[in-house]
Structure 1
Amino acid sequence: MEPEALIEALLSRDRDTPVDLAALLCDRHPRERVALSVVRPAGPRLDVEDVTYGELADRSRHLAGGLAGLGIGPGDHVATLMGKSAELVVVLLALWRLGAVHIPLFTAFADVAVAARTATARAVVTDADLLPTLDPLRDATGATPWTVVVNGDRTAPDAHHRTATEPGTAAAPGGAPTLRALETRGAGVRPPDSFRWAGDDAFITLYTSGTTGAPKAVPVPARALAAFVSYQHVALDHRAEDVFWNMSDPGWGYGLYQAVIGPLALGRGTLLLAARFDAALTLRVLHELQVTNFAAAPTVYRALRNHDGPRVRPGALRCCSAAGEPLNPDLPRWAEEHLGVTVHDHYGQTELGMVLGTPWRPGRRVEPVPGRMGPALPGWTLAVVDEDTHRPLPAGAVGRLAVDVPRSPLMWFTHYLGGGPRPAGRFSPDGRWFLTGDLASADEQGRFAFAGRDDDVIIMAGYRIGPVDVENVLLEHPAVAEAAVTAVDDALRGEVLEAFVVLAPAAVPGEALAADLRTHVKRRLAAHLYPRVVHFRQSLPSTESGKVKRKELRRERERELGAVPAAP
């Protein structure tokens, strides 16, 4: 089925019309087609493991049988604490064959973050080397609150992890059940019939990153697939012949939605790098594997720009896309010179998928404008609305970025897990607008520019200032590698700006450089928008997905100034 027809079919389905997710994402594709290329650095060479759709289909059916033997079935929540691997994708397909709901966990999570996200889980599947993360969650008897399944040869002692005790559950001797054992067990039994999902059935529960409060559980319904497929096809222009690489981690929305689910739904190949981020390795993979279509957070592009080691210019790139945080205006120009192609900015949220940006698809392509994310993507209508009245604002005005729900056929979010419909603060009272929590402006052509989070906005002498504009100007300075801008109280102006800067390798911190940065902002942006104080730091606090925690920087400064007590 062609992508346009698939999107139309997904959109036209009644919410009660069931869909076999395993068939849609895997079984219907040619068995011999490569679905995943798992890349591992092996000394001077790259080890590439190609996995076909046929292998995914067989292994996930077998694993579904093994998991069913543990009692996993429709409606059960199962978390994965796993790196990028073929096994992760096999687990996801097996869960969806059974009607189980997937809870992604980022591999860098500590035990507290895991506990907060697994309260509803019946089981946790984890890589063997991540078992220590689960150990602090044992109760007084030494058991975990869920069945633990281990991916790898290392097994956990019975005293540490509860295992299923039903006959024939394929528990590894002296330890928790392993994926390998469950697959072997499932291969010898009749596989369960594949579950069929109604459009409103949640097949994922994904937690927000928590940049503006406690992480919230987002139920992702089966009908959200239409949005993921549309973005993969139109904005990323993921073609059958592409070597496609989305670097984002599947523990977060962009990685799960568009590095795994989107490619599988289209029957395309996707590349998974089983290694920690390293700029030199990233350039090597782009070059040696002849990647044609690349997506990553702006943090990745900045790291590539600041890399001071040997540079290998990729030779095959056709598309580069960025998502997850604001794209600095200088990065597209840098990428065009050093990667051979510009970068298109895209914007989305856990609750939405991707909704804004400059698409790559011919016939849909919009020329990017530095500093602007682009227009609404097909299937979405957005506007900048007044904070109080929720009425659309004129071009150029900064206000709340909002999704026009009735005019957005791809809109799928309705509530957080455990809460009622239209959660307070996320929808306008009449239900028309979904409020993203971000500030933006739009030009006459409907191209949006990010201005900051609602709680990041700075009000100085009557001016509403989004920190992103100032940060982007600071990042233009050759001495600056990373920048964040916040505000402190000022008796005269209400608030004044302060900057937190991570320097490029050759830069020397000091008052002379701080003065130069202030002058740079005055000349490039506006005389009143310069940071009164510049703090030089080794790093900036950020979420696991790379978003700077400005609120944490503000609290640090407030504690230094004696405005708030230190955290206990």
Structure 2
Amino acid sequence: MSQTQPPAVDAALTEWLTTFSAADANAAHLLVDRHDPSAVAFTQIDVDEQGELAMTDLTYGELAAESKRLATALAAQGISQGDTVGVLMGKRAELVVSLLAIARLGAVYIPLFTAFATPAIEMRLTGGNAKLVITEDSQVSKLDGIEGITTIVAGPQFSALIEESEPIATSVAAGGDAPLVLIFTSGTTGAPKGVPVPVRSLAAFVAYLTYGLDVRADDVFWNAADPGWAYGLYYGILGPLAAGRRNILLHAGFSAAVTSKLITELGVTNFAAAPTVYRSIKTDPAISGFHLRRASSAGEPLTPDVITWSVDALGTEVRDHYGQTEHGMFVNNHWHDDLRKDLIPGSMGYAMPGFSVDVVDGQIAIDTTASPLMWFTGYLDAPEKTAQRYTDDGRWYLTGDTGRKDEEDRFFFTARDDDVIIMAGYRIGPFDVESVLITHPAVIDVAVVGRPDELRGEVLEAFVVTADDVEGDAALEAELQQLVKTGFAAHAYPRTVHFVDALPKTPSGKVQRFLLRQR
């Protein structure tokens, strides 16, 4: 372990690695059975048409009892160790019960985002060789026409299976290397790839919950990310379960008004969400005067205006964190007292304990020989894509994201490797230009891409979403160009500004710049 971090941190890492990597590790025991059965694991929030909140606490005992019965029902459907099961539903109790029941059998959970259309769902089910999907009424029609799929629907069918089944006698102890989840990457830069997530990954998830987010036993913690994607699944479901920390499951669509009400009525103290959430609630005057102890962001770099706004509106700064589906979070502006340092806007922070990180060939890279929390071993059935992620000697995992490190070992994100713009020999990261453009009061959202240019190789073009009462015209274009010249660099201004109604994004909120480059 590192010699520069407090001994207590090293001791905690050793304990987690021993626990979650053991040859006889039992996922169901580690996630639910070992905890106090009377303790609350999740609070499910439902919102009625009038905006009133209905709260239901889910204890570890209830989750254990229901998952044992559902495991018996799944076994009767032919599910056994190593089989895959898709779960297509929103943030609700049945999702957690399903995950735990699948784990009890040593089977593998495939998360399916509820905003997916049928082709995206079919691709993941086919790629993962799943034959069974647990879903809900609002989603079941998306499974029509997918051959060879059996469904279990939350509601009467799901409840009847639990009521009519006996609890499974024992849960499979498949070991730390056994797959627990099969999750697919977002497809921001190419076709989604399957990432097997082993039981031992729980050590890394607990480490981030502890050191990155600083979730404490007395916190009211809310990770608002969707469990159909890595951040919501790793740190909204798996991490809290493994660490014994309660999380909130909002079984409703996002709105700034509901967010405000939920933070107020539940007394949320520790909040984590994607940058798009912060940017959305920033425009709502109701979001002010809160007293969060911690606020964290991941998924896309935070622009400085959000950090400045949050101090007064949320009661604390928002700290940016960095990771990937393949590893979870591993570079953070850590919140934990033992690791917290002054926030430098634009920086992702420092390597998380358990990871050794550097910049190799211009890319953020993980040293596989000195990162005991690293759990990724390769993409599903894709050895060539896996090999592309490593240096020739196998030592460094290359993220594909370009960045830099300063003299104090702080990391700064530049861009995904294929998003870097090279103009007349200058390498320009879109984020640098976007961070300037977003400060203009007329700009609500923005993305910058490179366009081929005969003279310079590439030039910059910006796609801008303006406020409702603002018309995008030549005068505003000139203002924005000058803003970049004075706020970032004279050579890096966008030669053209396109005013658009919305930016193309993945379901997880990441800008699909490759679609903008095709326009």
Shorter-normalised TM range? over 0.9
Of 339, 349, 352, the residue aligned with 1:364 is: 339
Task: Name the amino acid aligned to 2:195.
Answer: V
Q: Which aligned pairs between 1:84-483 and structure 2 lie closer than 5 A?
A: 84-119=91-126, 120-137=129-146, 144-153=147-156, 178-186=157-165, 189-307=166-284, 310-313=285-288, 315-386=290-361, 399-420=362-383, 423-483=386-446
Contact 1:64–1:192 (Cα < 8 Å) also in 2: no
Task: Name the amino acid aligned to 2:39.
Answer: R
Equivalent residue, structure 1, for 2:5: none
Could you report, residue by residue, the CA deviation over 1:389-424 in whole angstroms, capped at 9, with x for unpaired residues?
xxxxxxxxxx11111111111111011111339822
Contact 2:219–2:269 (Cα < 8 Å) also in 1: yes
Distance of 1:6 and 1:377 partners within structure 2: 13
Task: Name the amino acid aligned to 2:299.
Answer: G
1:9 Cα deviation (Å)? 2.8
Contact 1:306–1:504 (Cα < 8 Å) also in 2: no
Task: Name the amino acid aligned to 1:33.
Answer: A
Unaligned runs of 5+ in 2: 1-7
Task: Name the amino acid aligned to 1:215.
Answer: P
Distance of 2:159 and 2:453 partners within structure 1: 61
Q: Considering only CA atoms, is the larger Rg found in Structure 1 or Structure 2?
A: 1
Equivalent residue, structure 2, for 1:52: 59
1:180 Cα deviation (Å)? 1.1
Distance of 1:517 and 1:511 partners within structure 2: 10
Distance of 1:370 and 1:40 partners within structure 2: 36
Could you report, residue by residue, the CA deviation over 1:269-315 in whole angstroms, capped at 9, with x for unpaired residues?
100111111122112211221110000001111111123xx514353
If asked which structure has higher relative contact order (CA below 8 Å, sep 6+), I would say: 2
Contact 1:287–1:316 (Cα < 8 Å) also in 2: no
Distance of 2:360 and 2:51 partners within structure 1: 54
Equivalent residue, structure 1, for 2:17: 11
Residues 225 and 129 (structure 1), Cα distance of their counterparts in 2 relative to 1, 3 Å cut: same
Distance of 1:243 and 1:219 partners within structure 2: 31
1:3 Cα deviation (Å)? 9.7
Of 31, 36, 40, the residue aligned with 1:34 is: 40
Residues 65 and 455 (structure 1), Cα distance of their counterparts in 2 relative to 1, 3 Å cut: same
Task: Name the amino acid aligned to 1:54.
Answer: G
1:108 Cα deviation (Å)? 0.7
Unaligned runs of 5+ in 1: 138-143, 154-177, 387-398, 557-568
1:261 Cα deviation (Å)? 0.7
Residues 111 and 349 (structure 1), Cα distance of their counterparts in 2 relative to 1, 3 Å cut: same
Equivalent residue, structure 1, for 2:464: 501
Residues 358 and 32 (structure 1), Cα distance of their counterparts in 2 relative to 1, 3 Å cut: same
Distance of 1:544 and 1:480 partners within structure 2: 22
Distance of 1:81 and 1:263 partners within structure 2: 21
Is 1:535 the counterpart of 2:512? The answer is no
TM-score, scaled relative to structure 2: 0.95
Task: Name the amino acid aligned to 2:72.
Answer: G
1:471 Cα deviation (Å)? 0.6
Could you report, residue by residue, the CA deviation over 1:214-256 in whole angstroms, capped at 9, with x for unpaired residues?
1000011111111001000111111111110001110111100
Residues 480 and 14 (structure 1), Cα distance of their counterparts in 2 relative to 1, 3 Å cut: closer
Is 1:66 the counterpart of 2:83? The answer is no
Could you report, residue by residue, the CA deviation over 1:311-341 in whole angstroms, capped at 9, with x for unpaired residues?
1435331000000111112211111121111
Residues 314 and 206 (structure 1), Cα distance of their counterparts in 2 relative to 1, 3 Å cut: farther
Task: Name the amino acid aligned to 1:93.
Answer: L
- Secondary structure, counterpart of 2:138 in structure 1: helix
Is 1:546 the counterpart of 2:504? The answer is no
Contact 2:294–2:316 (Cα < 8 Å) also in 1: yes
Distance of 2:120 and 2:466 partners within structure 1: 31
Distance of 1:20 and 1:4 partners within structure 2: 24
TM-score, scaled relative to structure 1: 0.87
Task: Name the amino acid aligned to 1:145.
Answer: G
- Secondary structure, counterpart of 2:460 in structure 1: strand
Task: Name the amino acid aligned to 1:129.
Answer: S
